[in-house]
Amino acid sequence: MSEAVAVTQEDEMEETVFDPALAEQVIEKYKDIPGNLMPVLQGIQDAYGYVPKLAVALVAERLNVYPSQIYGVLTFYAQFHLKPRGRYIIRVCMGTACHVLGAERIRETFYERIKIGHAETSADKRFTFELVACLGACGMAPLAMVNDETYGKMTVQKVDEIIKEYSSLPL
Amino acid sequence: MVTLTIDDKQVQVEKDATIYDAAKVAGVNIPILCHDKKLKPFGACRMCLVEVEQMKGRLIPACTTPVTEGMIVRSSTAPVEKARKLVLELLMLNHPLDCPVCDKGGDCELQNLAYDHKVNANRLSDEKFHHQIDYNNPLIERDQNRCVLCGKCVRICDEIVSRGALTFINRGIETKIGTEFDGPLSCEFCGSCISVCPVGALLARPFKFKSRFWALQKKASVCGYCGTGCSVTLGVKDNKVLTTVYDENQGFHNGQLCVRGRFGYQFINSEKRLQSPLVRKNGQLVEAGWDEALNLVVSRLKGAGNSAAALATPRMTNEELMLLKQLMTQQVGSANIDHSAGYAHTALTEGLFKSLGVAAAPSAITDIQKSNLLLVLKSDAYETHPVVGFEINMAVKNKDAKLHILSDKRGKLAKLPNATTLIHKPGSEVALLNALAKVLIDENLATAAASVAGFAELAAGLSAFAPEQVADQCGVSADALKGLARAYAAADKALILFPVGLAYPAHDAQLAHAAANLAILAGKLGKEGSGLLVLQEKNNSQGAVDVGFVPAAGGMNAQQILDGCVSGSIKTLLVAGENPLISYPNQAKVKAALDKVEFLVVADLFLTETAELADVVLPVCSYAEKTGTFTATDRRVQKIEPAISAVGQSRPEFKVYGDLISALGGQAPVTPAEAFTQIPAYAGIDYASLKADGTFASVAIKPALVLPVAPALQVESGKLALLTGAALYHCGTLSQYGEGTVAVCPEGYLELSHADASRMQIADGAVVTVASANGSVKLKARVSLRMAEGVVFAPYHFASSAINQVWTGAAVTSVTISK
């Protein structure tokens, strides 16, 4: 049996764009520190925007950890993503306060405009859309976030403004 | 020691024991699902909750809680029972109640616990799981719907097998067991996960719907593949071996098996088994009666003297080998008997015999986990003897043994924590060990051995082996060699391991001398957990040596016998269980010998490639059908009893050779018990009291230092070095009939490095032609991280792609590869 993770057709496409140099840098930085798997995976996610399959094989080989174990860690923590994510992450709060003040309309409007649902990424990799249980700023309900930017007192008009603003930014 | 009370019974246990361990000593049964005596405590299932007087207010898991002095434990109070019942209700909530069609029915721990705790209704209701069942491999079925997440499979694959194929995926209610990226299982298929699964989530596919567990007869036996000598329990129904049954209390290995032992049993009741004797008539092999076949053999053997010869497989029992030896040497009058191609046993018969005064290794497999330092020659030790590999894994992971590997290619052992691997150029093993010995002598680390016979000669003879002198030639730096020698000398208990076998011609008498020298010089012999262990290829390789199935005085060895067949001096050849056409080197030479010999008799279970050339084929029994003893590689003599009656008209070889002895006017021992008493090596062992677990035959050593001759090996320029060896999934050629082993590793392959592959533009899986001066063979390429540049590897078991068409028996063969 081969030591590397089996490579499928989909992965071959990934392989053509996967540049191991970034992952190697991260591994190099942490490789002699005990308990280095989490920081390495976080560093890789920062570098690529997600954790590529081939990076998992590379980390497994370099850190001498089973690929299965890495996959277990990646699926345990919500912070890790195994698919490429959009440049701009839109989060819409579905908590109680937001719900009461019309979060559902906000979600619907986003879907009508950019046609992606929860945890989906647009084909051009510009947007990833996520519904979250509570963003912890109920006073600003209904609430949305794009990356680290917060948008309170959301309205349908504001949705259009947000999309316009981020569509004009570079990818 | 700690004293505590469990259910009003006072017990004394070690201070690192858990409440569960103490309860066992007290005879109190605490139910468990996730606990296993072979694995580290985990505490996942909460079945073992107990009340502890000193820890009132909550229930305590018995399997993870260490005992304390004066602890008062109650194991079955009303709150405990209530909690256990709730745990079971929660487990049964999502677990399908498909017990009538589940192969685990009757052997299922969840079923038993639900029954014991009368969980006949559930106060809760929820949907069942809808996981897809994994049928992606031929051996292990994974049904996550039945899983109780005890994690035993994940843990055994890590802690003992060190493969790490399985893991917990996701979190909370979505948690399941799976592989990386939730793909199909791709592993060693040892089935350890199946053996510990408490429910029907992991099942052996070859056994599916074959029998209910309770309808199986469980017969203790000894695995018939490699020299490890693992105990197995065969599951028998209607005179057929249908499966192997896990028994955690069996053998030194606690029931742990490899892929061959667990899944390779199917050869026993294979449809390909010979049903009756065959005799060649008008050029065709046709069915014949035993009388006709034996009469023919008798007529050829009578008075044949040295024009007859016998090659036997070390898979036969000691008693059968004894009889065949008697037949040949006494009745026929031939000294020409041998086994294992004449060279695979020389590490013992010649090497250790001269170095230690006995043709056996002084250490036992159980020494591995007691050692401080393991020096493993050739990483193939894992592939040839996987269960020994598990012992190495556990020694390194649990007992902090230091692992040093000296090998011509990487293997799984190299990935163990803190393993040090020195990759050397092929064929330089002896020179390297000589260099280590020289360091020991030069740095005064061998003073204790100064009085051992041969010390002065060795010290003088090693003058050309200073690390600096051999470094370049061997591809290992002088500093690394010195470091290894010092580490070896410094370890209190150090054990050297190396495999021998048909595919390892370099592991010969010289290597045995070199390894023994190290152990003698550094004073590592005669201590528990220290010394030397030779891993022999077949289940009775040590037995064949102990019985002395080697050329008698003036007799020919296996290679000379084959030459004799060609030259005409050997006219009748009896081949008992060997398949030289595939397993011996130089197929062309073997073919010429078998074609040329006047009369060829083959005794085998199958119509092997060798048997197809025979004049008479005698169908004989597998280990599951006979009585006798096997001797494992560490001189553990194990008794086997028939699990089933003989298949077809096949006969145990004990009877066949006994009858031949009688027909030639001799007197054979009547029973295996009687034959056993005639084996001098086993004097002092009582046959009647022998069990499948075995009794060690004594090994009294008389060390002597012998100067090993290091072979000068040179790969022709522009060519690659071909190494032969064993594949993890196979052992000899027998596993070619063990369906499970073939299902996961059906054909030969050529492993080569990424560097060579990209230079020659060979893709993984491409068919390539490997050619030497001797011939060529087509093999599938396997591009691998294990190989060094310029070195390729091919396993030897496969008739369809026999590497012996290329390989002539040299330790290293120069080959070219073309697409």
pLDDT tens, B310-358? 999 999 999 999 999 999 999 999 999 999 999 999 999 999 999 999 9
Beta bridge mates, B404: B375, B420
Interface size A-B, in CB pairs within 8 Å, comes to: 57
**In the prediction, which pLDDT does A10 show?**
53
Per-residue pLDDT at A6 exceeds 80:
no
Number of domains in chain A: 2
Residue B684 reports pLDDT greater than 80? yes
Beta carbons of B158 and A66 less than 8 Å apart: yes
In the predicted structure, residue A1 carries a pLDDT above the cut 80: no
Q: Is the domain of A161 the same as that of A99?
A: yes
In a domain, A1, yes or no: no
Q: Let me know if residue A2 belongs to a domain.
A: no
Q: Is A123 found in the same domain as A95?
A: yes
Residue B21 near residue B61, CB atoms below 8 Å: no
Same domain, A100 and A155: yes
Q: What is the pLDDT of residue B667?
A: 95
Whether residue B734 has pLDDT greater than 70: yes
Q: Is pLDDT at A16 greater than 80 in this prediction?
A: no
Answer yes or no: do A15 and A69 share one domain: yes
The answer to whether residue A53 is domain-embedded is yes
For residue A59, pLDDT over 70 is answered with: yes
In a domain, A105, yes or no: yes
Does B158 sit within 8 Å of A76, measured CB to CB? no
Do A151 and A94 reside in the same domain of the chain? yes
Chain B residues within 8 A of A11 when measuring between CB atoms? none
Span B212-217, mean pLDDT? 96
What separation, in Å, do the N-terminal and C-terminal C-alpha atoms of chain B show? 68
Tokens of B408: 């011509």
Contacts of residue B543, defined as CB under 8 A and 6 or more positions apart, other chains included, come to: B314, B317, B318, B321, B629, B630, B631, B637
State the Cα–Cα distance between residues B398 and B371, nearest whole angstrom: 12
CB contact under 8 A, B167 and A66: yes
pLDDT tens digits, one per residue of A148-162: 899 999 999 999 999
Average per-residue pLDDT for chain B: 95
Q: Tell me if A162 is assigned to some domain.
A: yes
Question: Is residue A14 very low, low, confident or very high in pLDDT (cuts 50, 70, 90)?
Answer: low
pLDDT digits (tens, 9 = 90+) for B250-262: 999 999 999 999 9
Buried b (16+ CB within 10 A) or exposed e, B186-223: bbbbbbbbbbbbbbbbbbbbbbeeebebeebbebbbbb
Residue B693's pLDDT band (cuts 50, 70, 90): confident
Residue A119 has pLDDT above 90, yes or no: no
User: Does residue A36 fall inside a structural domain?
Assistant: yes
Question: Would residue A3 count as lying in a domain?
Answer: no
pTM listed for this prediction: 0.93
Q: Which domains does chain B have, with CATH numbers?
A: 2-76 (3.10.20.740), 128-267 (3.30.70.20), 346-535 (3.40.228.10), 720-818 (2.40.40.20)
- What is the separation of C-alpha B140 from the centre of its chain, rounded to a whole number of angstroms? 20
Check whether residue A104 and residue A152 sit in a common domain.
yes
Of A37, A54, A76, the residue at which a domain comes to its end is A76
Torsion angle in degrees (nearest 10) through CA of B538, B542, B544, B550 = 110
Flag whether pLDDT at B518 surpasses 50: yes
Residue A69 has its nearest CB partner, among B164, B764, B786, at: B164
- Contacting A with CB below 8 Å, chain B residues are 158, 163-171, 178-183, 186-188, 415, 417, 764, 782, 784-786
Task: Give the phi and the psi of residue B632 in degrees, each rounded to 5.
Answer: -70, 170
The answer to whether residues B761 and B752 touch, using CB atoms and an 8 Å cutoff, is: no
Is residue A58 located within the same domain as residue A94?
no
Residues pairing with A24 in the sheet: none
Instruction: Give B32's strand partners.
Output: none
Q: Are residues A72 and A92 both part of a single domain? A: no
Claim to verify: residue A72 and residue A14 sit in the same structural domain: yes
Given a cut of 50, whether residue B28 has pLDDT beyond it is yes
Provide the domain limits for residue A113. Answer: 88-168
> Model confidence at A4, in pLDDT bands (50, 70, 90)?
very low
Nearest Cα residue to B524 out of B356, B377, B382: B356
Residue A7 has pLDDT above 50, yes or no: no
pLDDT tens, residue by residue, B543-600: 999 999 999 999 999 999 999 999 999 999 999 999 999 999 999 999 999 999 999 9
Q: Which of residues 77-96 of A touch B (CB under 8 A)?
A: 82
- Inter-chain touch B188–A1, beta carbons under 8 Å: yes
What is the C-alpha to C-alpha distance for residues B104 and B99, in angstroms, rounded to an integer?
A: 8
Domain CATH for A110: 3.40.30.10
* Inter-chain residue contact B171 with A75, CB threshold 8 Å: yes
pLDDT band for position A17 (cuts 50, 70, 90): confident
Residue A4 lies in a domain: no
B260-276 residue pLDDT tens: 999 999 999 999 999 99
- Same domain, residue pair A22 and A42: yes
Whether A72 and A128 map to the same domain: the answer is no
Same domain, A163 and A93: yes
- The amino acid sitting at B450 is A
| Whether A71 and B170 lie within 8 Å, measured CB to CB | no
Positive or negative: CA dihedral B80, B86, B89, B95? negative
In three-state secondary structure terms, B814 is strand
Shortest CA gap B786–chain A (Å): 9
pLDDT (0 to 100) of residue A3 = 40
Please check whether residue A169 touches B, CB under 8 A: no
pLDDT above 80 for B697? yes
What is the pLDDT, as a whole number, of residue A13? 54
